Structure 1
Amino acid sequence: MKKTTELHVDRRQFLKGSVATAIVASIAGCASQVQGQQDSYLMSLIAKMTLAEKAGQLHMDGVLSPKMVQPNFQKINPFTPNFTPEQAAGLLAAQQAQIRSGQMGMMTSPEDIDSVVYAQTSAVKETRLKIPLIFGADIIHGHHTIYPIPLAEAASFEPELAERTARACAVEATTNLGIDVTYAPMVDIARDQRWGRVMEGAGEDVLLGSRFAAARVKGFQGKGLTDPKGLLACPKHFLGYGAAESGLDYAGTAMSNRLLHEVYLPPFKAAFDAGAIFTMAAFNTVDGVPSTGNKALLTDLLRTEMGFSGVVISDFQSELELINHGFAKDEREAAKLALDAGCDIGMVSGIYPKYVPQLVQSGELDEKVLDLAVYRILDVKMRAGLFDDPFLRVDQAHAADKAPAAHLALAREAGHKSIVLLKNTGQLLPLASNAKVALIGPFARDTKNVDGAWSPFAPQVASVSLAEGFKAKLAPSNLIIEDGCGISEAIEGGIERAVEAASAADVVLLAVGESASMSGEASSRASITLPAVQQQLAEAIAATGKPVVILLRNGRALALEGAVKQAQAIVVTWFLGTQSGHAIADIVMGEVSPSGRLPVTFPIASGQQPYYYARESSGRPTPVGESPMFKSHFIGIPDDPLYPFGFGLTYSTIEYQTPTVYTASVSKDGSVTVSAEITNTGEYEATEVVQCYMQDPYARIVQPVRKLLDFKKVTLQPGEQQTVSFTLLASQFAYLDQKLNKVLESGTIKLWVAPHARAGEAVEIDVV
């Protein structure tokens, strides 16, 4: 689309006109809170706005498409409600009237690029002040090309990979939709695998989560805030959402302020440091106060302490949900509390434009609060380039372009690097090309549950199934495919046919796990085991005596049981998206060696949740070989994971030597280098994720048994040895005390260079 430079008003020319000095003065003090020099142009623009126009900038509505008035539009876009053309025309006209009156600031989830153009044209040509709209959508792990879910990509331990896939997502979404903002990345630390939204983040570790948060922001935003093929990132959910009690979505959180700062805040800081100028308030409460109405979080912490100068948007109607929380008595009070707390934009609820003007007129809400929120919104629009070109990210000439072939190749690469090999008894994998294989399970032929949650813009062409992937590798006579059962329901005669297929094969690939709807938002699970019918299928297949390879489809860590747990090989394949079947077949057949590592801890049982590696040291641990009586344990199982954080195998064997440090002590302002010899003692090339952990065994605040400090990926040829070194600042050994002061005490620090969080021998260094 042509540049709309005719709509741009030079700031100096604008300032030659009348400026309401009173309003400028009233917000000058507030504007000083915003990073950078006060923008007189924006303040003068605010001075021209009515209360209704100001409140309108705080309102986000869903984008309605002009195509909705066509008969049978639902056949074009099944996500659209079943309106008649007449009803659709009325809704569209009402929304356009709201835009033209200047009472809309942001719009979300367009169905096509024409919707964006239609709405934006009204905003910049038919409104009094010509303020552009800003458009957002959920581009979480793909647009047309679907990449592995974020949790899977975190298993790569390669933030640069996530940066590349986020960049590809942005290119496709801007090309096809012309939007400006993505409600991603989700940077919540998730330590309870019952929580459905584990799949949307980077797992349980603070360092890993922080590095992936920064990488995804950089990838989405590309060359900067005005990149026409970049999306403004909106890290979410501020704050503590990943600690929902019992892993129940939307539930409250109960934690110390220290834990909030030490565990849940760092990924947000990393995202903001990487350039994010949006963030999203969370659904949950923190210490009894809903995040969306929590001034201590959204103003005192986020703005004053962290210096965030961007915009906070609510999660879907979370400002309205202050009523259900029992925090606000009605919509009017909810609007006041949320805006006063620092939530700038309300998503879809409509209570800001409905109540904010009257709240200001009655004196219940200080107009300075409103003006500052409007200032932040306008400032973000300006920083995003929309005042200079409201159609910056719109390119109608290429909107129908297909995803580049390079994006498919990237999806396959991302799939390779996300897969985690947990078990490979007797080196069953990789399979020989002439092996007779029975591919069995509800996901063998399935295409509906390949992408996982949060892939609403995937095209109608199905992602690659397991069947398709293995058909490309094996001769037709060497591949038998049976469903065996459904995801949660039996198929008449299904298990019998599956057993017959297994009996006729050399090896069974058993594709079991979760459906896409079992993970994601509002998909908490009380028991993180396989559905009963799949477990029955696994037991029946195991009884044939044939070797079994489990191909696990999942969006969280699972508690594996019985024949699944005891299978000869276990491969975690997550939800890998567009190239899923090909990526998995490449790994299983040995064309690519597995290199993924677990970003979450796999428990022995669901009841261990929340269970994560960086737990505080217990006063009653259970030493190996001792009775667990009166020790920290669950009856009937050890206090151990099934597979620990950071765990993953290659097709080769890797040996670690005891790490070494080259000095016995380090000063508090110094650094230390810890190294270990890593050797590939097997027959295959291998990519190893070498991890560096620490423990402070004696501190005034009880510390985690281990804490990840750094990691590196190295590729080793058979027989090759490498020295892998980590240079650590002594300041990395510090912790927060109860007053949130960073403390670095003199004393001993234990360091590990190891393949996962439960392995290796420690070396000690003294901080002096």
Structure 2
Amino acid sequence: MQMKRMMVPAMLLLGSFAMAQPKTNPAQARMNTFVQALMQKMTLEEKIGQLNLPSIGFDVTGPVVSQGVEEKIKKGLVGGVFNTFTPVAVRKLQEMAVTQTRLKIPLLFGYDVIHGHRTIFPIPLGLSASWDTAMIRLTARAAAEEASADGLNWTFSPMVDIARDPRWGRVSEGAGEDPFLGSQIAKAMVKGYQGDDLKKDNTILACVKHFALYGASEAGRDYNTTDMSRIRMYNEYFPPYKAAIDAGVATVMSSFNEVDGVPASANKWLMTDVLRKQWGFKGFVVTDYTAINEMIAHGIGDGKEVARRAIKAPVEMDMVGELFIQQLPGLVKEGKVSVAEIDNACRLILEAKYKLGLFEDPYKYVSEERNRREIMNDQKKMLAKEAAIKSMVLLKNENNVLPLSAEKKIAFIGPLVKNQRDLIGNWSGAGDYKQAVSVWQALERKITAAPFYYAKGCNLVDDEALKNKLNPHGAMLEADVQSPEALIREAVETANKSDVVVAFLGEPFGMSGEAASRSDIGLLPNQQRLLKALKETGKPIVLVLMNGRPLTLSWEDENMSAILETWYGGTMAGPAIVDVLYGEANPSGKLSMTFPRNVGQIPLYYNHKNTGRPLDENQKYTSKYLDVSNEPLYPFGHGLSYTSFSYGDIMLSGKTLGVTGKLTATVTVTNTGKYKGEETVQLYVRDLVGTVTRPVKELKGFSKVTLAPGESKKVTFTITPDDLKFYNGDLQLVHEPGEYHVFIGGSSATSNKATFTLR
């Protein structure tokens, strides 16, 4: 049996190491002097007012609407405003703050700019499927340009929660299941939003969320309990948050869930020990929507007690709940909260405003000329189309039914063919669905060589109870004048006239995102009935999916000729989909989240641990199901192309790696098909023996390569001991000598393997 000879610590026990304190630079000194002088003039109530973030304006994402906000602004009891944008609306409130208050302190203006502001890009889960961090950074940069031109200076993004349960609706907002990929995307988005200088008028504060562990809520149910070991936190769930902090994210949002039995917004270990002491975060923490108030229902105290625990955690800004302005003055008077704690929170918020340059020019974000120039310009639309194309994942393509031939008669069937609203998806904020280009509009503009046909086929949703849940929140679900049976008959007649059927189905946008958890994540029954009727025609069927989460598609995988996952592709989704279907663009997306065969497999993720009785189909008493394979329907990293790629053997520069050295792993990738294509080459590592159990595979690198037909390229990865570090049972970050496997291929299912030893 192989044994590790020794453990090589990379750092001392977390939280106990001394952090070098950088010298204060002149700009920092000027800010410190300014903020200190301002705070000396402030009353206690004015300081507490800076911690208040009410909602006023056009959009509400929770059950509470702030009351009397304008009067509170005039009294200096508001630090920022949530949900107000446009130069006109922002100027009105900012003028109130800087002309009608005693100290003329400007406001922050925050909004949920999640995947674009006015120009909408694919949902974040879709963007993550591009594995193109440079492009993702550009989408965040474009969103910041638009948002800042619309009066905003703060976005509540990126959402970086690791998510392994697709029943949870908010998987649509994140980057999937992997900490390495999630960390790369977190860094890209922070840098895209914040740019290289927050004082520029086209940069905004980013806010990493939801800190922490929100993606692991039990049963995939939103707002639910989270419970896990600290070793899992540090190895699997913390890395993307830490990556955002290291990238300089300005703000952090606390999560709704509890951590170790304490709600995050009151969790001193999370907010002080981890975030500030271990990671060195210097910005401020804002709660999620009314999260302080909701700690009462969690059961840790009344309004006064939860406000006390929140400020002591600390979280600095109270989103919408207003318990800080209601309770903190009395808590200070009673000696239960110190003035120093209030001062610390106020200082961090004032520093954020200073860094944005608001004290120099409170109106820097209210230029109507910039608004006209930046909003939905041609450059941003082109980027939106590129992002939509790169986000699509070809899940199946039997007999190369795709790409479609422009010479063939194609039937486009389904309630999403002409749909615009669902194209921009959930969390589309200020996006206008009427500006989105539908698939049908794109077809009419593009296809002239052969006739193409349309039939609706079915309603998006027939279930009245479900429609009644979704429609009050803007779902716009209406039944067709024809009966469901008549719609299917018409679809079958249309299919029979065609050579190929393309069916557009999926989730209405309201079925994913916040407060949109599902216990059954298959296509809805009425959509399945349509597909089964179309299958009876004997025509090849291409299923085009629009949805915000992995779906269970076992029947569809067995019976459809091709399946193209397009997510909610955004403003330019229609033209992007048409280009991919007809081969003007070659799909290159790779899944960032595993697709299960059925919900009984959930949670299902590639980087799991082995059991003491790993799967053996020839032995009964091993870890497996009686009724379904352990394997997913589509694994993490899966994604086909119209061409094909082959991988050569992995060539290592050596068989051993020293603790101060490096190793290269090289593989030759060849385009063996007929189309030019882009492949995401993925590097995984397995640590075979550890002082604590290790995953069967871990993503450690990826590289995108574009190849012409017949072309080969060598792709090289460098592996260092730092790439092999993990947190051990004492929460020390270490690498351990011993044997490792390295895998390189086109998905996490690759078996292309080599072996090396860390000495």
TM-superposed CA distance for 1:78, in Å, is 8.5
1:458, distance to aligned residue in structure 2 (A): 1.3
1:53-68 equivalent positions in 2, closer than 5 A: 53-64=46-57
> Is structure 2 residue 379 aligned with structure 1 residue 386?
no
Bigger mean CA offset, 733-742 vs 179-188: 733-742
Q: How far did 1:97 drift?
A: 2.5
Secondary structure of the 1:235 match is strand
Which secondary structure does the structure 1 equivalent of 2:484 belong to?
coil
Whole-angstrom distance in 2 between the partners of 1:483 and 1:757: 37
After superposition, residues 153-232 of structure 1 pair within 5 angstroms as 153-175=127-149, 177-232=150-205
In structure 2, give the amino acid aligned to 1:194: R
Q: What is the one-letter code of the residue matched to 2:127? A: E
What is the match of residue 6 of structure 1? none
More displaced 10-residue stretch of structure 1: 684-693 or 394-403: 394-403
Paired residue for 2:81? Answer: 107
In 2: Cα distance, 1:564 partner to 1:424 partner: 10
User: 1:602 aligns to what SS in structure 2?
Assistant: coil
* Distance of 2:241 and 2:110 partners within structure 1: 20
* Aligned residue number for residue 722 of structure 1: 713
Superposition pairs of residues 66-105 of structure 1, within 5 angstroms: 94-105=68-79
Q: CA deviation at 1:566?
A: 2.4
1:234-383 equivalent positions in 2, closer than 5 A: 234-328=207-301, 330-383=302-355
Give the distance between the partners of 1:564 and 1:747, measured in 2 at CA.
Answer: 41
Give the Cα separation in 2 of the matches to 1:621 and 1:441.
43
Q: Deviations over 1:611-661 (max 9, x none)?
A: 1100011222224xx336222112211100111100111111111112110
What's the offset of the Cα at 1:265? Answer: 1.4
Whether the aligned pair in 1 keeps the contact of 2:87 and 2:365 (CA below 8 Å) is no
**Retained in 2: the 8 A contact 1:596–1:648?**
yes
Deviation per residue, 1:482-538 (Å, 9 max, x gap): 111112217241111111111111001011111101110011111111101111111
Counterpart in the other structure of 1:468: 441
Give unmatched runs, 5+ long, in structure 2.
1-20, 463-482
In the TM superposition, what whole-angstrom CA distance separates every residue of 1:102-146 from its partner, at most 9, and x where no partner exists? 111111111432221111112112211121111110110111111
Given the alignment, which residue of 123, 129, 151 partners 1:149?
123
In 1, are the aligned partners of 2:403 and 2:582 still within 8 Å (CA)? yes
Residue identity matched to 2:445 = A
* Contact preservation (8 Å) 2:245, 2:279: no
Residue type of the alignment partner of 1:100 = K
In structure 2, the CA distance between the partners of 1:208 and 1:648, relative to structure 1 (3 Å rule), is same
| Partner Cα distance (1:762, 1:78) in 2 | 51
- 1:628/1:455 CA distance change after superposition, 3 Å: farther
- The structural deviation recorded for 1:670 is 1.2
| Residue 649, structure 1, aligned to residue 640, structure 2 | yes
- Give the Å deviation of 1:475: 3.3
Query: How far 1:561 moved relative to its partner?
Result: 3.1
SS for the counterpart of 2:518 is coil
The residue number in structure 2 matching 1:17 is: none
* Alignment of 1:538 onto 2:511: no
Give the 5 Å matches for 1:450-469. Answer: 450-459=423-432, 461-469=434-442
In 2: Cα distance, 1:684 partner to 1:590 partner: 9
1:14 corresponding residue in structure 2: none
Greater alpha carbon shift after TM alignment, 404-413 vs 118-127: 118-127
Give me the whole-angstrom Cα distance separating, in 2, the residues matched to 1:530 and 1:300.
Answer: 44
Q: Distance in 1 between matches of 2:723 and 2:457?
A: 51
The alignment-based identity, stated in percent, is: 39
Q: Deviations over 1:191-213 (max 9, x none)?
A: 11111010101111111101111
Query: Contact 2:86–2:366 (CA<8 Å) still a contact in 1?
Result: no
In structure 2, which of residues 652, 656, 675 is the aligned counterpart of residue 661 of structure 1?
A: 652
Which letter maps to 1:653? S
**Aligned position for 1:577:** 570
Deviation, structure 1 residue 275? 1.9
Partner amino acid, structure 1, of 2:227? A
Q: What is the CA–CA distance in structure 1 between the aligned matches of 2:411 and 2:756, rounded to whole Å?
A: 53
Of 369, 386, 405, the residue aligned with 1:397 is 369
SS of 2:589's partner is: coil
- Looking at structure 2, the residues matched to 268 and 102 of structure 1 have their Cα atoms a distance apart, in angstroms, of 33
CA distance in 1, matches of 2:338, 2:313: 12
Structure 2 counterpart SS, 1:472: helix
| Selected match of 1:127 from 79, 90, 101 | 101
DSSP 3-state at the match of 1:449: helix
Structure 2 distance, partners of 1:569, 1:382, is 54
Letter of the structure 2 residue corresponding to residue 753 of structure 1: I
Equivalent residue for 1:23? none
User: 1:319-338: CA deviations, max 9, x gaps?
Assistant: 1101010012x211121111
Distance 1:396 1:116, change over 3 A: same
Following superposition, the deviation at residue 228 of structure 1 comes to 0.4
Give the secondary structure class of the aligned counterpart of 1:62.
coil
- Counterpart AA for 1:344: E
- Structure 2 counterpart of 1:747, one-letter code: G
Q: How big is the shift at 1:170?
A: 1.0
The Cα shift of 1:148 comes to 0.4
Q: How many residues align?
A: 713
Is the counterpart of residue 409 in structure 1 residue 382 in structure 2? Answer: yes
TM-score under structure 1 normalisation? Answer: 0.90
How do residues 434-445 of structure 1 correspond to structure 2 at under 5 angstroms?
434-445=407-418
In the alignment, is the contact (CA less than 8 A) between 1:672 and 1:730 conserved in 2?
A: no
Q: 1:9 — aligned with what?
A: none
1:493 partner SS: helix
1:138 aligns with 2:112: yes
Q: TM-score scaled to structure 2, two decimals?
A: 0.91
CA shift at 1:264, angstroms? 1.7
Could you tell me how far 1:219 is from its partner in structure 2? Answer: 0.9
Please list the CA deviations of residues 240-292 of structure 1 after superposition, one character each: whole Å capped at 9, or x if unmatched. 00111111110111101111112221111211222211010000111211001
Maintained 8 Å contact 2:193/2:205: yes
Q: Within 1, Cα distance between the matches of 2:192 and 2:59?
A: 30
Which amino acid in structure 2 is aligned with residue 622 of structure 1?
L
Query: What is the alpha-carbon distance in structure 1 between the residues aligned to residue 390 and residue 251 of structure 2?
Result: 30
CA distance in structure 1 between the aligned counterparts of 2:677 and 2:276, rounded to whole angstroms: 46
> 2: distance between equivalents of 1:726 and 1:78?
46
Post-superposition offset of 1:32? 11
Distance 1:547 1:464 in 2: 26
Measured in 1, the distance between the counterparts of 2:514 and 2:449 equals 40
Q: Distance in 1 between matches of 2:670 and 2:69?
A: 65
* In structure 2, distance between residues paired with 1:553 and 1:251: 27
Superposition RMSD in Å:
2.0
Shifted more, 630-639 versus 231-240: the winner is 630-639
Could you tell me how far 1:397 is from its partner in structure 2? 3.4
CA distance in 2, matches of 1:463, 1:205: 31
Provide the secondary structure at the position in 2 that maps to 1:292.
helix
Cα gap change, 1:264 to 1:663, in 2 (>3 Å): same
Taking the aligned partners of 1:650 and 1:307, their CA distance within structure 2 comes to: 43
